[in-house]
Amino acid sequence: MQDVKNIRNTVLLGHGNSGKTTLSEALLYTAGATKRLGKVDDGTTALDYEPEEIKRNVSINASFGHFVWKKTDVFLTDTPGDDNFVNESQFASQVADSALLAVGAVLGVRNQTERFVDFVQDRKLPCMIVITKMDRERANFSKAVDQIRDSFNLNPVVLQLPIGAEDNFKGVVDLALNKAYYFTNDDSGKIELGEIPEDMLDEVQVLREHLMEHVAETDDELIEIFLEEGEIGEEDLRKGLINAVRQGAVNPVCACAALLNKGTTLLLDAIVELLPSPDQRPAVMGTDKGGELIERQPVESDPFSAQVFKTMADPFAGRLTIFRVFSGSLSGDSFYNSSKDLSERFGQMYIMEGKEQKPIDKAIPGMIVAVAKLKDTVTGNTLCDIAKPVLFDDLESYSPVISYAVSAKKGDEEKLFSSITRMLDEDLTLNLSRQPQTHEILISGVGQVHLEVIKEKLMRKFSVGMDLRVPKVPYMETIKGKTTVQAKHKKQSGGRGQYGDCVIELEPQARGEGFQFLDKIVGGVIPQQYRPAVEKGIQESMEKGVIAGYPFVDVKVTLIDGSFHAVDSSEMAFKIAGSQAFKKGVVDAKPVLLEPIMEMNIQVYKDHVGDIMGDLNSRRGKVLGMDSTAKHEIINAHVPQSEILSYAIDLTSMTGGRGTFTVKFSHYEEVPSHISEKVIAEAAAA
């Protein structure tokens, strides 16, 4: 591996079906990293290689390509465009030095495109825009560029103007060089120099001046030259363009048809020439052991530091840990994990090339590296030199928003949950929890497709089936009234009998105060040794409720009277009496069902606010207020859990994938009577 200056680390982002994986395949093939031009539809790509990806024809995981072009090592990360797997794209963006934003020439800007632009701008990544699928019917380059300009705070400036479109897409004009390049009639990716078509000369002139103007605006010397002479010389324009792109002031636009491998040679040239090397990016900020801010320069001479951004669970190779080196160099067989405060040994280091791994002996800034079978290191952890430790901020993942009850075939439970635990290391958006009220185990993710893919992976990787079903709502029961009730348990069946008699008073407690038991027996009508049994009987009855079988909460029980038999009384008899008294008393104390109310924060565009508000009202939601950001409205609301079990799917439908939300438990409230009747009837029928 060579100098840091000859490394490029770039992430490929874009909406679903924008052709990212096809473009990645064409770049790898043109650069000689693969021997054939893989196709998504045929399931032959080097980067979408998992069966779940081949089956759906979509990327599910961030995957890694590495190739050499013009003596420069390029680390390319191909990312998913689907909302269900956007966390992969976010993490990859956080460890990249630059981005390629793919926008389809037919579809143009889509709803999800904004999310990827946000990733670019949050990280201040130098970004090139690639208009893909120029060979498709209705491909419209200028319309796509205009949409980007109108939709986002980007500065798209045409660098490669396509010659023709659809079936007639045959070349591009490089506006910086003022030269036309034509594609050869094969899939080699090669180009030939030619003449600029006469009917394009005027457009080329206008767009070339436009390019010069935008580049000049980023440099005081160039703006003077441009104003005085009306143009910028080729060498000055080239240097100015490089600086403008690396500053993030200009986003050059290129054109390609990756399926036919047209335009990739010029795109590779642009990646190597225009995008920054790691040492041209800002220092990475972290903290030392005392919490003081320190920086790591992206050069080999600084102490070693890296961050894990992906973990892959493999049933054969074990856990594969993938990290980006930010500073210094790593060789040898161990590193210090400052997130866990421990050292870990590793075997061979690798560069990822699709599903293949290429062994290396040394890693330097900009490189994406993998090691196998680490015991303690997980996604988000900081790796560093133990003599000069640093801790980077953990990676923020998307919160799970949809949950299903999960179960396995009889006898497979232990295998299923141990396998899911291994998947949790791989996917931070996955969560496993136990619902104590319903006794269900819940698996939570960012979307229905996300959980379906997890189900398929578990079967393929670990040969264990997972059944998913809509979870039960964890209702509770309580009372609204006050009552006094007596229960006498008396049984005689020859020999010693059973006798327990108690009088209890039931009254409601404030919401959230739980269960309280008071002993107000006077004069020993119930001996001391039997009174705890009364409480135990009551608590056991509370576990399975009375009106619908849900746990009982927020009730105060006072033991006020009773009687006993010197021979026949026992703890068991009083336990049964306590249980019977509670069940009888609840019926007379106005029992009600309680339902969990969730706190929701829903982020949407202004034009969707009315629809979302109306929908929340139909779900018995209460809007608490609204906040605004530069682009979004954030609606804060309380909504019953029973009304939002499939909200992730519904919100995507209502907003075209442009809305996001978070949800967490808030409190319990009484269920309206008409709904309560249905829940009780369903519980009785179950």
- For 298, 339, 341, 377, the CA distances from 389, given in Å and listed in that order, are 16, 10, 10, 16
How far, in Å, are 168, 605, 658 from residue 629 at the CA level? 44, 10, 15
Query: pLDDT per residue over 553-599, tens digit each?
Result: 999 999 999 999 988 889 999 999 999 999 999 999 999 999 999 99
Q: Do 553 and 593 contact (CB within 8 A), yes or no? A: no
User: Confidence class of residue 405 from pLDDT cuts 50, 70 and 90?
Assistant: very high
Beta bridge partners of 293: 287
A 10 A CB-CB count for 221 gives: 10
pLDDT recorded at residue 171: 95
Can you give the pTM of this predicted structure?
0.85
In the 8-state DSSP scheme, what is residue 552? B
Q: Cβ of 380: how many Cβ atoms within 10 Å?
A: 18
Q: Please give the pLDDT value at position 524.
A: 85
Which region among 380-394, 413-427, 555-569 has the lowest average model confidence (pLDDT)? 413-427
**Do the Cβ atoms of 585 and 506 come closer than 8 Å?**
yes
Check pLDDT > 60 for residue 1: no
Distance from C-alpha of 360 to C-alpha of 329, rounded to nearest angstrom? 12
Q: Given this model, what pLDDT does residue 258 score?
A: 93
At 16, list the tokens: 């679903």
- Give the chain's mean pLDDT: 91
- Asked if 122 contacts 11 with a C-beta cutoff of 8 angstroms, the reply is no
535 DSSP assignment: H
Confidence of residue 399 (pLDDT cuts 50, 70, 90): confident
pLDDT digits (tens, 9 = 90+) for 329-375: 999 889 999 999 999 999 889 998 888 889 999 999 999 999 988 98
Measured CA angle at 10 (ends 77, 109), to 5 deg:
85
Beta strands at 632-640 and 622-628: parallel, antiparallel or unpaired:
antiparallel
For residue 275, the model assigns a pLDDT of: 97
Phi and psi for 509 in degrees, rounded to 5? -110, 165
* Amino acid letter for position 262: K
pLDDT computed for residue 560 by the predictor: 95
- Strand ranges in 123-250 using DSSP code E only, listed in sequence order: 127-132, 156-158, 160-163, 171-174, 179-183, 191-194
> Above 90 in pLDDT, residue 410?
no
pLDDT at 119 over 70: yes
> Could you read off the pLDDT of 148-186 as tens digits, one per residue?
999 899 999 999 999 999 999 999 999 999 999 999 988
Structure-token match 């008294």, residue found: 581
Of all helices (H) and strands (E), which one includes residue 293?
A: strand 293-296
SS (H, E, C) 394-463: CCCCCCCCEEEEEECCCCCHHHHHHHHHHHHHHCCCCEEEEECCCCEEEEEECCHHHHHHHHHHHHHHHC
8 A C-beta contact, residue 252 and residue 128? yes
The conformation of residue 108, written as its DSSP 8-state character, comes to: B
pLDDT of 315? 59
The set of residues, in sequence order, having a beta carbon less than 8 Å from that of 465 and lying 6+ positions away, is: 408, 409, 412, 416, 458, 459
157 within 8 A of 214, measured Cβ to Cβ: yes
How far apart are alpha carbons 378 and 340 in whole angstroms? 9
pLDDT in tens, 466-521: 999 999 999 999 999 999 999 999 987 666 789 999 999 999 999 889 999 999 99
Q: Which two tokens stand for residue 578?
A: 């306590």
Whether 77 and 62 have beta carbons less than 8 Å apart is answered as: yes
pLDDT tens digits, one per residue of 30-68: 999 988 888 888 788 888 778 788 888 888 888 999 999
Question: Which pLDDT score is estimated for 354?
Answer: 83
Domains defined along the chain, listed by start:
4-280 (3.40.50.300), 296-384 (2.40.30.10), 402-469 (3.30.70.870), 477-589 (3.30.230.10), 594-685 (3.30.70.240)
- The Cα–Cα gap between 108 and 347 comes to 46
Name residue, tokens 């709904």: 675
Tokens of 157: 């400036």
pLDDT at residue number 425 = 80
At 426, is the pLDDT very low, low, confident or very high (cuts 50, 70, 90)?
Answer: confident
* Residue 386 burial class via C-beta count within 10 angstroms: exposed 0-12, middle 13-18, buried 19 and up: middle
Res 316 pLDDT > 80? no
523/64: higher pLDDT: 64
Instruction: Kindly report each contact of residues 617-624 with a partner whose C-beta sits within 8 Å and lies 24 or more positions away, as own/partner.
Output: 619/643, 619/644, 620/672
CB atoms within 10 A of CB 601: 15
155 Cβ contact list (under 8 Å, min separation 6): 214, 249, 250, 251
The whole-number pLDDT of residue 590 equals: 93
